[in-house]
Structure 1
C-alpha cells in the first residue's frame, strides 16, 4: 500500500511581455534578478507542497500494507540477521516536520524487529563513490535515539567500495554485511526520479562494478540493470519516502513563486540578495545559502519490493514535477541551485555546475529535451575555479585533465583510480572517490555533443575554455554570441521542473 496526499499549485509556462518584471535567476551561490526579452518562454516548476504528509503514521501503514509481498512484520524472525541500508548525502534530505524521514523509517523498522526478537541488527550507509558522512550528519539522518544505540557498538558503518572483503553476488561485488544478511531493508527519501527503488543497492557495489556502469561509453540503462540484478539476488524489502523539496529557507520561500506576485517585503529581500551577490565572496555566499535550513514535504510513503516501490515513487515525482510545454526552443537559459547531489556540504565547483546544467537540467524531460539539437545553452553561475576539500580529485581533474595538460581521459582515469592518496581520502577522510569526477563528466557528454554552444554567464574564462565552454559577462553578451535569439526559453530553476512537450507521455 502507499500513502499519499494532494499537491499544491502546479507548474506552468509564461511568455514574457512588456509587463513582466525582472525574473529571479539562481547562480549557485546567490540570486539575482534579470530582465528577459519579450517573448521568452519561461517554465516554472510547481510550488512547494504545504503541509507535509504525516510521515510516522504513513510509514506504519506502508510497512503493514506494502505494494507487493508480505508485510515487514511477517518477514522478521528471531535469530535472523537484519541489515538496514540508508542513503547518503546524495539525497540532500531537508527536514520534514523537524525530523529526517530516513530516521523515522529506521525507527519504525527497528520497532518491528524488536517485537519479532531480532537481535542481530546493523545499519549501513550506501554511499557508493560519495564521501563519508560525518558523525553529525549520521546523527541528523538517523536521529539521536538510533545513533546513540548503535554507533557505540560499531553497528553503524559506511560502505567502502574499495574494501577487500566485498562478497560476490550474481557476479557483482557488494558490501559483505549486506550480502550475508537474511533480510535487507533499504530506507530512502528522495526527490529525484533517477534515485529511487534499487538505486540504493547500486551504491553498495565495488568501484569496478560502479565504473562498469558509469564509465565512458556505458549504456544508459546499465546502472538500472545493475540495480535490478541486485534486487533479484538479495532478500530486500524497500521503504521509500517521495519528497517535495523546498529549495529555500522559509524566509526565502517567495523565490519559488511568480515574481509578479511578490509583495514589498519580498522585493526588498530580493534586492538584498542581489547586493550580497555583488559584495560577498563566492564561498561566503555559498555558505550562507547552505546553512539556511530548508524543508521538504513528504508526498508519498511506500514499501515493498525495490522495483515496485521505485516505480511508484518515480510516478509520484513525475506527476508532481511535470510541466507541459507547447514547443521547443533554440536557446535556453537556466540558473543553478546552490547545492549539487554530489556536493552536499560544499560549494559548487565548475564540474558540479556543469553536471547540474548538462546532466540534470538538460535531461529533465519526459522524452524530448526542451532545447533543440544544435541549440545554445546559457548557464548562470558556478564556473569559478574554487574547490572544496571534499573534491580534491575534481580540482585536479579540471585543471590537469580537461585543460589538456595531462593525459587523455582513459589514461588519466587509470592514474586517478590507482592513486593511493586519493584512495586514502575516500576511505578514511571525507573526500569523494577519484573516479567520481570522470563519471560526472561522462554524464554531461550527450548534452555537450548535441548542443552547438554552452555559454557561462559570469564564468571564469580559462576554466570555461578548458571544459569546452564559452564565457560571457552578462545575459546580453551571451545572447549576442548565439545564432538564434528569437526562440528563447528560461528554465526557472530551482526547483527543477520536468518538461513534458505537449503531453508526450
Structure 2
C-alpha cells in the first residue's frame, strides 16, 4: 500500500473536473447521451478491468460504462423509466437498464483497448460454525437449532453497535469457481452462464404473496454503522424483487412481505445525502419521476456532498435518488408492502409501507387483499438464488 498509494493506487473520482473526459455521444430513448470516461483510462494504451461477479447484473458493459464514468453519463440510464422497463435486473436480455449500459459500452469498447477479466464466486455466505445458516430450517439438526437459539439469545442481549461490529467482522466464505478473460461480450456471456448454473432454482408460477428477510448487509453499507432505510428499500423492492428470470416471482398486484427492524439509523460519514433525502425529500414526495426532475441535480451538485465524496468516504450526493429509483418497478407492481419486525412505524410509513407485528399477522393482512387461497412463496437467503419462474 505504502509503495503505490496515492500516485499509482487510487479510486476513480467521478467528480474530478480534470480526471474525466468525454468520449462521445450515443442515441438513447430520450435523446443524446453523453459518454464520459476516466481520463487515465482514456489515455492509456491498454486497460485491464478485473471484476468480481456475484450475480448477472455485475460485469459486462456495466464495468466500464458505469464504473468509470461521471455523473452526467450515469444519470442517462439510472432513471425511474429504465428501472420500470427492466423485467428483472438479473436477466440481461430482459433488462432495459442493461441495454442502456450496452449503448454506452459499445462506444467505449470501440474507442479504447480493454481486456476484461471476470471472476465468478460461489454463493457460500457462511461456513464452519456458521455454515448451518445457509440450510433450510427444515433440514436443521438438533445441534443447528441449539446454535441458532444460543446465537439469537446472545445477539438480543448486545447493544446495536456491538452486534453490528460482530456482523461486519464475520468473513464471507466465498471462493472463486470460474475465471474468464477477453473481449467484453464473449467474456460476460461465459460469466453469466456459470452464475446461472449455480444460482438458478426452478419455481412454480408467480406467487400472490412473496416473503423474504432483509440481511444486515448490502453492496452499499460495508463497514457502515447501519443498513439505513433507503438501503432496506433497495434490497427489498430492488434486488430481491428482481431475483428472477423469465417472469416475476411475485405476480403484478401481489403483496410483498419483508422482515427488518427498519430503524431510523444512518451513517453520516458514508451516507450524508441519504439523511437529507429521507427526511426532507421523501416527506415532500415519494414520486420517483418528480424526484428525478426536481431534486436529483440539487443533491448531485451540492458542494458539501461533492467534497465529502471526493475527500472523505461518502457516496455521491445523487446516490440516494438512484437507490430510490431502484425500487420503482417493485413499488409499481406490488399492491402492498408489509414490514414485519419494524421497531418504529414512522420509517415504513414514509416509504409507503404498512407494518405488522408478526409474520402470521402480515400473511393475514396479505390474504385480505389476495384471498384466502392465495399462493405464497418465500425466498430463503442465504444462499442467494435466482428464481426461474415457470
Equivalent in the alignment of 2:52 = 189
Q: Does 1:314 align with 2:198?
A: no
Tell whether the 8 Å contact from 1:348 to 1:382 is kept in structure 2 after alignment: no
1:369 corresponds, among 244, 248, 273, to: 248
Deviations 1:130-179 (A, max 9, x none): xxxxxxxxxxxxxxxxx344226x11121111111211113322111000
Equivalent in the alignment of 1:421 = 304
Structure with higher RCO (Cα < 8 A, 6+ apart): 1
C-alpha separation in 1, matches of 2:132 and 2:201: 20
Equivalent position SS for 1:245: coil
Tell whether the 8 Å contact from 2:245 to 2:386 is kept in structure 1 after alignment: yes
**TM-score between both structures, scaled by the size of structure 1:** 0.67
2:12 corresponds, among 148, 155, 159, to: 159
C-alpha displacement of 1:181: 0.3
**TM-score between both structures, scaled by the size of structure 2:** 0.86
Equivalent in the alignment of 1:57 = none
Tell whether the 8 Å contact from 1:378 to 1:457 is kept in structure 2 after alignment: yes
RMSD over equivalenced CA pairs, Å: 1.9
Matches for 1:325-474 after TM superposition, within 5 Å: 325-346=203-224, 347-389=226-268, 390-404=270-284, 409=291, 410-459=293-342, 460-474=344-358
Larger Rg: 1
- How many residue pairs match? The answer is 355
Tell whether the 8 Å contact from 1:359 to 1:443 is kept in structure 2 after alignment: yes
Equivalent in the alignment of 1:105 = none
C-alpha displacement of 1:249: 5.2
Tell whether the 8 Å contact from 1:247 to 1:494 is kept in structure 2 after alignment: yes
Structure 1: gaps (5+ residues) = 1-146
Matches for 1:119-268 after TM superposition, within 5 Å: 147-151=1-5, 154-165=7-18, 166-171=20-25, 172-201=35-64, 202-218=66-82, 219-220=96-97, 221-248=99-126, 250-268=128-146
- Deviant stretches of 4+, over 6 Å: none
Tell whether the 8 Å contact from 1:249 to 1:293 is kept in structure 2 after alignment: no
Equivalent in the alignment of 1:3 = none
Equivalent in the alignment of 1:41 = none
C-alpha separation in 2, matches of 1:316 and 1:445: 29
C-alpha separation in 1, matches of 2:121 and 2:285: 43
Deviations 1:335-363 (A, max 9, x none): 12221112222221111111111111111
Tell whether the 8 Å contact from 1:215 to 1:438 is kept in structure 2 after alignment: no
Tell whether the 8 Å contact from 1:167 to 1:175 is kept in structure 2 after alignment: yes
Equivalent position SS for 1:162: coil
Tell whether the 8 Å contact from 1:333 to 1:377 is kept in structure 2 after alignment: yes
C-alpha separation in 1, matches of 2:178 and 2:158: 39
C-alpha separation in 1, matches of 2:159 and 2:51: 35
Matches for 1:84-103 after TM superposition, within 5 Å: none
C-alpha separation in 1, matches of 2:350 and 2:73: 29
